[in-house]
Amino acid sequence: MQKTLVTQPGEILQNLQPPEVPLGILSTFAAEQFGLSGDWTPLVGERDQNFRVTDADGIQWVFRLCNPHENTSIFECQIKALEHLKRTDPSLPVPRVLKTLNGQSMKMLRWEGVDHCVIVLSFLPGEVIGTTQLTNEQLYLVGQLVARLGKALRGFNHPAPSSRYLAWDHRRLPELLHHVDILPEVERAKARQILGDFCENILPNIDRLRSQIIHGDAHPDNTLIHDGALSGIIDFGDMVFGALVQDLSNTIADFIFPGADNTRIIYEIVKGYQSVTPLEEEEIDVLLPLIETRLLMTPLIVSLRSSGGAAQASYADVSKRAFPLLSELEASRELISNAARRAAAFTQKNSALPSSFSEMLERRRKVMGNNLYMFYDSPLHLVKGEGVWLTASDGKRYLDCYNNVPHVGHCHPCVTGSISRQSHILNTNTRYLSEQSLSYAERLTSTLDRSLSAVVYVNSGSEANDVAWRMAKAWTGRAGGLAMEYAYHGITDAIDPFSPSNDLASWKFPHMRLIPAPDDYRGIYKRGEPNLAQRYADLADQPIEELSLSQFGVAAFMVDSAFMTNGMIEAPLGYLSRVVDKVRKAGGLFIADEVQSGFGRMGSAFWGHQHHGVIPDFVTIGKPAGNGHPIGIVITRPEILDHFTKTATFFSTFGGNNVSCAAGLAVLDVIRDEALVENAKATGAYFKARLLELKRKYTLIGDVRGTGLAIGVELVRDHNTLEPANTETKRLANLVRDQGVLIGTEGVHGNILKLRPPLVFEPHHVDIVISALDKAFGDL
């Protein structure tokens, strides 16, 4: 158990009555040392003897004779802090230091054998805020001023604030807790409960928060207002090393008052603070307890001072605020903490108890219907992602060997940072000029053939394909489409016909024809046979001809270069270019759907069509472009775009917005700087080699194939009949998941393991997958 130091009231408070040196002594000293003379007016001080001096030019100064019982280093610290602020935030309205005639920042005055430290500061214009009621805007400015002060003090260092004994320091609360009995009986229970809770639950974690030297006392009596504007913050006498958020909580505790709309006051001050220094969630979580304890300190310290005969009347008055305010805060706790969270840009905390799995499933069924497919026999509830790792709600970590959307790794800080920064600055649409949308378009087109220079921004892969299809129809004046058997290209009404994998059994569209996949494992021509590219390409002749002869004609052929839904088949090189030639001869255009194969997924090139050596008429982009942020793009030849927009007005509200483009640019930076295309090639080759080792061990593995980090493992019960091992495939994915590895299944028969991780996957991650697969195959 931690030992708590029990102190006597006197020890907590020390005797800090202001000194009383005769004015004559002081004015002579000021003239001799600082060259300062004029009219002297006494000012109130809690610990020090203060005067306002108006010199012959009408300039006003504060002459401060510091309390001799305080360590001189505290005053030295104040001076140094003010000099630091002058450098770090010159327009911050804080006092300036008047130096002595021989250039010192402070000077000692000896009176009745005791040395007193003297400092002279500029007197800031304005009135103390005191009990003046502030407008929302003024409260916001108070928050801003406190945050600016904290920010400007960030790099300031001095030993005094850490070592001094300050009764108002929250770290003294365990000692104050022992003096609760000094309060009137009716108030003890509440005080004990608040202080006890704080000491037990909050204080042990306070040192984890951002900490530095803080002003600590931006009280309405230390904050000045002049012509309605905040004109200054004074009194650096309570500087302490503490959690940064204590500057905010102390300010709030001192600016709220009984019967006021305190939720509004808190909201505005936090919002102002947040506009300069975004708060962390842990800081917002402790805000209310810090405010409550600060409120309690006043009556406690005042009572202790009274018992020691040292109380000051004004403080006794202030103490009367505390208990009514504490009751008000308690009554509107939820309202206030929601307001503070909102002001700090955090959404409301879900107060519901953590849902059980079955409850979540039931809620999902209610709001998302009965038939929405979910991975795994027992669904996964993921709560966090980082790189190639995902964490589930039960704390278990999973290696992600499946998801291609987090292309550069889950929550890559370069992407999340870009999104966050841009969303703080501006987010509009392409009806205005924007640097982000231009840069992103230029960066993308620089990776493509020069003919592909016109960029259209939309929001998803489906939309990109839909728009490319519309343009192809407009350009060719035809309406017939070609896709691969079992392809997937999206969800829209126009693209569903290009996606037989959506519903193969009932797929039938008069304007569409399907081309057999160049599958050299399961297809009619087998790996190793001669002229595979040509022979498979020739299988496209019939559908192309049929469509040409139909009323529709050939408008476009759409292909995913990684042939993902066909089971990551490795189309023989030369296949795609031959089919595209045939399509073009029939007057059709080629849409390269790069939603899966783009951004280096295939390792051999930045784009899938480049791997196949074809130049498309359209490139459509989705999924990985924004690493999870929704982005869809069509890139085409300028004449095709101009032709389309001449006849149809085209505008996508969200397409190409500043934030999406910032996300896309960050993804491109990471791919380049982390050499992810090269990594896809190297890690993909290693992955395949290790899978081929497994193939030698388990006869269930019929084929291992794929390019880069798009790898398929086809499972068959019989190597001659190729009977699909579909139930085994599903079971394997579940067994591997139990070992903390996520993989998928694919293909028309559902008998292909889909290994398609984020591009930051490394060989040691491959080893983890291989040993999980090895064990799962053994356990089947």
The footprint of ligand PMP (CB under 6 A) covers 460-462, 465, 488-491, 560, 564, 593, 595-596, 622-623
Q: For the CB of residue 387, give the shortest distance to ligand PMP in the complex, in Å.
A: 22
Give 358's contacts (C-beta < 8 A, 6+ positions apart): none
Q: For the CB of residue 495, give the shortest distance to ligand PMP in the complex, in Å.
A: 8
d(C-alpha 19, C-alpha 110), whole Å: 12
Nearer to ligand PMP among residue 305 and residue 489 (C-beta): 489
Q: For the CB of residue 440, give the shortest distance to ligand PMP in the complex, in Å.
A: 17
d(C-alpha 776, C-alpha 758), whole Å: 22
Cβ atoms within 10 Å of 456's Cβ, excluding its own: 25
Nearer to ligand PMP among residue 491 and residue 770 (C-beta): 491
Ramachandran region of residue 708, left (φ > 0), alpha (ψ -120 to 50) or beta? left
Handedness of CA 158, 163, 164, 168 (dihedral sign): positive
d(C-alpha 589, C-alpha 559), whole Å: 11
Helix, coil or strand: residue 365 = helix
Ramachandran region of residue 563, left (φ > 0), alpha (ψ -120 to 50) or beta? left
Q: For the CB of residue 595, give the shortest distance to ligand PMP in the complex, in Å.
A: 4
Q: For the CB of residue 583, give the shortest distance to ligand PMP in the complex, in Å.
A: 18
Q: Are 75 and 66 in contact (CB under 8 A)?
A: yes
Helix, coil or strand: residue 315 = helix
Q: Are 522 and 714 in contact (CB under 8 A)?
A: yes
Q: Are 606 and 600 in contact (CB under 8 A)?
A: yes
Closest CA to 257 of 206, 320, 194, 301: 320
d(C-alpha 465, C-alpha 752), whole Å: 26
Q: Which residue is nearest to ligand PMP (CB)?
A: 461
Q: For the CB of residue 488, give the shortest distance to ligand PMP in the complex, in Å.
A: 5
Give 583's contacts (C-beta < 8 A, 6+ positions apart): 482, 540, 544, 554, 556, 557, 589, 590
Pairing of strands 397-400, 741-742: parallel
Handedness of CA 515, 520, 526, 531 (dihedral sign): positive
731 class by beta-carbon count within 10 Å (0-12 exposed, 13-18 middle, 19+ buried): middle
Nearer to ligand PMP among residue 138 and residue 462 (C-beta): 462
Cβ atoms within 10 Å of 348's Cβ, excluding its own: 10
Q: For the CB of residue 560, give the shortest distance to ligand PMP in the complex, in Å.
A: 4
d(C-alpha 667, C-alpha 749), whole Å: 34
Nearer to ligand PMP among residue 51 and residue 607 (C-beta): 607
Q: Are 19 and 110 in contact (CB under 8 A)?
A: no
Pairing of strands 60-65, 97-98: unpaired
Nearer to ligand PMP among residue 19 and residue 598 (C-beta): 598
Nearer to ligand PMP among residue 250 and residue 465 (C-beta): 465
- Give the residue carrying structure tokens 């600590």: 216
Q: Are 383 and 393 in contact (CB under 8 A)?
A: yes
Nearer to ligand PMP among residue 235 and residue 593 (C-beta): 593
- Alpha helices by DSSP H, 398-509: 413-425, 435-445, 461-476
3-state helix, strand, coil in the chain (%, to 5): 45, 15, 40
Q: For the CB of residue 444, give the shortest distance to ligand PMP in the complex, in Å.
A: 17
- Give the residue carrying structure tokens 């799962």: 776
d(C-alpha 166, C-alpha 212), whole Å: 16
- Alpha helices by DSSP H, 504-570: 532-538, 541-549
Q: For the CB of residue 93, give the shortest distance to ligand PMP in the complex, in Å.
A: 52
Nearer to ligand PMP among residue 329 and residue 559 (C-beta): 559
d(C-alpha 116, C-alpha 98), whole Å: 17
Q: For the CB of residue 580, give the shortest distance to ligand PMP in the complex, in Å.
A: 17
Residues linked to residue 62 through DSSP beta bridges, in sequence order = 52, 121
- Alpha helices by DSSP H, 277-389: 281-307, 313-331, 333-343, 357-368
673 class by beta-carbon count within 10 Å (0-12 exposed, 13-18 middle, 19+ buried): exposed
Nearer to ligand PMP among residue 519 and residue 593 (C-beta): 593
Nearer to ligand PMP among residue 422 and residue 596 (C-beta): 596
d(C-alpha 481, C-alpha 553), whole Å: 8
Nearer to ligand PMP among residue 513 and residue 623 (C-beta): 623
Q: For the CB of residue 597, give the shortest distance to ligand PMP in the complex, in Å.
A: 8
Nearer to ligand PMP among residue 338 and residue 610 (C-beta): 610
Q: For the CB of residue 693, give the shortest distance to ligand PMP in the complex, in Å.
A: 29
